[in-house]
């Protein structure tokens, strides 16, 4: 009798764990539904389906150790979907992992001590889990293989960069040079500082020709080498797209927003102060040395040539792009890439882009991206929507667009794809 009572209590706890996980899952799905983005809602539904099927199998089969998979999944999802400094939007995935892991540990211990036997293999939930995993994997492989195998002209891609642009060094490859320039610590004490940027020059660079120019910013913890040296396949892609005639030759400058050890306890100030460095020091240094469309490396020259200048960044570099360039240097640039942003306020947008001095300046294109597993998405989606609502010049599908890359997270794989798409959008009439 006592054995039956213990078994009944064991099953009741297993059911309670399953129901609590269901409640947490419902809250997490509701949060993702609030973003009003179909791919994000589908992502949450599939993830929660896997978690709850595992919990169902653990309860039905009297196998609490299956919830160790939920605990491991919670840790993995936390690394993708949450970031302590900015967002805990997907916190319930972690809470589910911890909660499930506790019962997995205690329940398994109970089984060993009390010699509780499993009730049998829970075929239905396990089969459904395998079906979801296999289906998702199949969709991923089909789409990635399709994009990788694309052999035509460059076009928008959501799954992967075509191999013809991405692999194999171009015979006519561009070169990288170091640009050292003097600037100031604008975010702190204004002291003089020497900084470094990398400059990509296309194959056959001719100082007597005028070139469009793209400035590319890295993210937190990286440096000016990130885009073109640390991840050299970005340079390979540039070389191949130029060599194959998909884009016109252009100059690319990769600076850094870091200024020695300034603001290490709060980097947001650098996302605003970079505006002064960009306008006063970096652009004059770069565009006086290299041949761009600026007739003179000064305010008048930069303003007159803004249609031939783009700026893009990833993560905190995208925040810098928004705070210092789109909302700070609209008079110098007209093409923008925001990859895994968004921390720019409505007030800042209204004070800059929509100010009397800038409200009539054209915006040729704003390209925004994120991934369905990117922790920036809960900021990016409403932030992009807010940008479009407050800047009437931006028309979805005309001079702005927002791509969410399936199965991508806060990583270079996402940003490499973003750069590929962005290069096709800028300077179409070069």
Signed CA dihedral, 238, 243, 244, 245: sign only = positive
Query: Which pLDDT score, from 0 to 100, does residue 168 have?
Result: 87
Query: Which pLDDT score, from 0 to 100, does residue 123 have?
Result: 95
Q: Is the pLDDT of residue 265 over 70?
A: yes
What whole-number distance in Å separates Cα of residue 221 and Cα of residue 338?
A: 18
Average pLDDT across the chain, whole number:
94
Residue 152 dihedral angles phi and psi, to the nearest 5°: -95, -160
For range 145-151, the mean pLDDT = 96
Percent of the chain with pLDDT over 70: 98
Name residue 204's beta-bridge partners: none
Q: Give me the CATH topology for the region 157-425.
A: Rossmann fold (3.40.50)
Query: Which pLDDT score, from 0 to 100, does residue 83 have?
Result: 84
For range 24-39, the mean pLDDT = 93
CB-based contact 80:411 (threshold 8 Å): no
Is the pLDDT higher at 345 or at 320? 320
Q: How confident is the model at residue 342 (pLDDT cuts 50, 70, 90)?
A: confident
Query: Which pLDDT score, from 0 to 100, does residue 71 have?
Result: 95
Q: Is the pLDDT of residue 1 over 80?
A: no
Q: Is the pLDDT of residue 379 over 90?
A: no
Query: Which pLDDT score, from 0 to 100, does residue 87 have?
Result: 66
Q: What is the pTM of this model?
A: 0.94
Instruction: Return the ∠ at Cα 370 (arms to 46 and 429), rounded to 5°.
Output: 135
Q: How confident is the model at residue 153 (pLDDT cuts 50, 70, 90)?
A: very high
Return the closest-CA partner of residue 60 out of 114, 17, 24: 17
What whole-number distance in Å separates Cα of residue 235 and Cα of residue 106?
A: 52
Query: Which pLDDT score, from 0 to 100, does residue 409 have?
Result: 94
Q: Could you tell me the residue ranges of all domains in the chain?
A: 2-147, 157-425
Query: Which pLDDT score, from 0 to 100, does residue 6 have?
Result: 74
Count of C-beta atoms within a 10 Å radius of residue 364? 18
- The pLDDT tens digits for 205-237 are 999 999 999 999 999 999 999 999 999 999 999
- The pLDDT tens digits for 164-195 are 999 888 889 999 999 999 999 999 999 999 99
Quick one: the chain helix, strand, coil %, rounded to 5? Answer: 50, 15, 35
- The pLDDT tens digits for 73-93 are 999 998 888 887 666 788 899
Query: Which pLDDT score, from 0 to 100, does residue 85 have?
Result: 64
Q: Is the pLDDT of residue 320 over 90?
A: yes
Residue 414 dihedral angles phi and psi, to the nearest 5°: -65, -45
Task: Tell me how far CA of residue 137 lies from CA of 131, 141, 400, in angstroms.
Answer: 10, 6, 31
Q: How confident is the model at residue 430 (pLDDT cuts 50, 70, 90)?
A: low
What whole-number distance in Å separates Cα of residue 76 and Cα of residue 176?
A: 37
Q: Is the pLDDT of residue 380 over 60?
A: yes
Q: Is the pLDDT of residue 370 over 80?
A: yes
């Amino acid at each position: 009798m006592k054995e039956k009572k213990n078994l009944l209590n064991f099953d009741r706890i297993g059911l309670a764990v399953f129901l609590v996980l269901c409640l947490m899952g419902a809250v997490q799905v509701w949060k993702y539904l609030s973003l009003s983005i179909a791919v994000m809602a589908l992502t949450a539904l599939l993830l929660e389906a896997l978690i709850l099927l595992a919990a169902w199998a653990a309860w039905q089969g009297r196998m609490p150790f299956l919830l160790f998979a939920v605990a491991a999944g919670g840790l993995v999802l936390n690394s993708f979907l949450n970031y302590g400094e900015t967002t805990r939007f997907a916190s319930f995935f972690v809470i589910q992992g911890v909660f499930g892991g506790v019962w997995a540990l205690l329940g398994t211990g109970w089984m060993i001590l009390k010699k509780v036997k499993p009730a049998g293999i829970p075929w239905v939930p396990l089969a459904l889990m395998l079906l979801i995993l296999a289906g998702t994997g199949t969709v991923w492989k089909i789409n990635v293989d399709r994009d990788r195998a694309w052999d035509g002209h460059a076009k928008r891609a959501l799954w992967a960069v075509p191999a013809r642009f991405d692999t194999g060094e171009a015979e006519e490859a561009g070169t990288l040079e170091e640009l050292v320039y003097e600037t100031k610590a604008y975010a702190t004490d204004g002291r003089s500082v020497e900084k470094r940027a990398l400059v990509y020059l296309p194959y056959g660079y001719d100082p007597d020709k005028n070139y469009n120019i793209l400035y590319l910013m890295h993210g937190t913890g990286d440096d000016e080498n990130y885009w073109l040296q640390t991840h050299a396949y970005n340079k390979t892609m540039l070389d191949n797209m130029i060599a194959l005639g998909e884009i016109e030759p252009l100059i690319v400058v990769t600076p850094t927003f870091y200024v020695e050890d300034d603001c290490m306890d709060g980097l947001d100030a650098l996302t605003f102060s970079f505006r002064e460095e960009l306008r006063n020091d970096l652009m004059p240094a770069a565009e006086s040395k290299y041949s761009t469309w600026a007739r003179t490396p000064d305010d008048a020259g930069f303003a007159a040539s803004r249609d031939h200048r783009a700026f893009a960044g990833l993560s905190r570099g995208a925040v810098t792009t928004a705070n210092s360039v789109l909302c700070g240097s609209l008079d110098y640039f007209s093409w923008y890439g925001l990859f895994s942003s968004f921390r720019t306020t409505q007030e800042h947008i209204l004070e800059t882009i929509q100010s009397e001095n800038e409200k009539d300046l054209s915006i040729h294109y704003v390209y925004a991206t994120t991934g369905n597993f990117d922790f920036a998405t809960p900021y990016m989606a409403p932030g992009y929507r807010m940008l479009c609502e407050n800047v009437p010049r931006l028309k979805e599908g005309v001079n702005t667009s927002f791509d969410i890359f399936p199965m991508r997270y806060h990583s270079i794989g996402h940003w490499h794809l973003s750069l590929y798409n962005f290069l096709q959008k800028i300077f179409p009439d070069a």
